[in-house]
Amino acid sequence: MNPAPTLLALLALAASSAPPAPTGKAEPPAEAPVMSVQQLLALPQPPADHREPYGEAAQQFGELWLPAATPVATRLPVVLLVHGGCWRARWGLDHVRSLGTALAKEGFAVWSLEYRRIGDEGGGWPGTYQDVARGADHLRRLAERYPLDLDRVVAMGHSAGGHLALWLAGRGRLPADSPLRAPEPLALAGVVGLAPIADLAAAAAGRVCGDAIPELLGGAPGELPGVLRQASPRELLPLGAPSRSIVGERDTIVPPALVTDYAAAARGAGDDALAEIVPNVGHFELVDPASAAWPSVRDAARALAGHR
């Protein structure tokens, strides 16, 4: 028996199973997974200091945090926090309590709004907007009992809540016959949008949140131009208040381009509007005070409130 073929076969097998020869180039490290919704829901969510109603419906209330130590005669800057969740009833304010707690530790009073959403009686257009507006204006009542500085109110919202936070800044531009018009809307020192859905027409075309935008408005944006002009921050530009929008580079729910395009449009209309893309961050890290996005969120709120 000739051993040569067997030896050649063994050599060929060894060559095929050997690791590839080094090329001198290091392989890039694998990207860590972004935060999932399950991880978001698993975050500790400490309770607020106070729960205050601003209306009669079950969803018309807010939660208030105050810093642990407030010097006498000090008026506190306020973060008006609006949670997201595609405007749907299944998502309440409980998942942003860790963010409210963290902001209070930074010296802010935090007023976190609940509101009627898609699936709630009275939610959608115009009820969702009316609730957020009424909840924001309720800060005047709260300031009679708590040391709040109403000249330093910064609205902060995540995702769908970012849309509503920006809308609050622009509601003074609503037409006189709008069902959302208020005689003296609370002025804002600025808005921090966390992956805000600021352009409803563009977001609906891209199916951001699936069919939620048509459900919110009562039809497709293109079929309801009068509603869209009142409902979308993009249509209300210039808002007249500075905004700082923050989005994760790896956000697959709200595309970063949607955020940066809105900021560019706002600047073009005359607003002080900036957008920041946080590297290697997804959608939900923006409301996690332990994430890499937290310094950007904290610093934006501080800057707009003039709080150091």
In this predicted structure, what is the pLDDT of residue 69?
A: 77
Residue range 147-158, pLDDT digits in tens: 999 999 999 999
Q: Is the residue at 25 inside a domain? A: no
In this predicted structure, what is the pLDDT of residue 10?
A: 30
Please compute the mean of the pLDDT values over residues 281-295 and round it to a whole number.
98
In this predicted structure, what is the pLDDT of residue 3?
A: 39
Q: 12 falls in which pLDDT band (50, 70, 90)?
A: very low
Q: 11 falls in which pLDDT band (50, 70, 90)?
A: very low
DSSP 132: H
Please compute the mean of the pLDDT values over residues 235-247 and round it to a whole number.
98
Q: How many domains does the chain have?
A: 1
Q: Would you say residue 205 has pLDDT above 60?
A: yes
Q: Is the residue at 113 inside a domain? A: yes
Please report where in the chains the tokens 């009316």 appear, as a residue: 130
In this predicted structure, what is the pLDDT of residue 27?
A: 58
What sign has the CA pseudo-torsion 134, 68, 46, 301?
Answer: positive
Q: Give first-to-last CA distance, the chain, whole Å.
A: 87
Compute the distance between CA of residue 183 and CA of residue 205 in angstroms, rounded to an integer: 33
Q: Would you say residue 63 has pLDDT above 60?
A: yes
239 against 28, higher pLDDT: 239
What is the percentage of the chain residues whose pLDDT exceeds 90?
85
Mean pLDDT for the chain?
Answer: 91
Q: Cβ of 12: how many Cβ atoms within 10 Å? A: 10
Q: Is the residue at 210 inside a domain? A: yes
DSSP3 helix / strand / coil % (the chain, rounded to 5): 40, 15, 45
Identify the CATH number of the domain in which residue 258 sits.
3.40.50.1820
Q: Is the residue at 241 inside a domain? A: yes
Compute the distance between CA of residue 84 and CA of residue 159 in angstroms, rounded to an integer: 5
Q: Is the residue at 214 inside a domain? A: yes
- Min mean pLDDT across 65-79, 181-195, 225-239, 241-255 is at 65-79
Q: Is the residue at 27 inside a domain? A: no
Which residues lie below 8 Å from residue 236, measured CB to CB, with a gap of 6+?
167, 170, 171, 173, 174, 229, 230
Decide: pTM greater than 0.85. Answer: yes
Q: Is the residue at 12 inside a domain? A: no
Q: Is the residue at 24 inside a domain? A: no
Q: Is the peptide bond before 67 cis (omega within 30 degrees of 0)?
A: no
Which residues span the domain enclosing 210?
A: 34-305
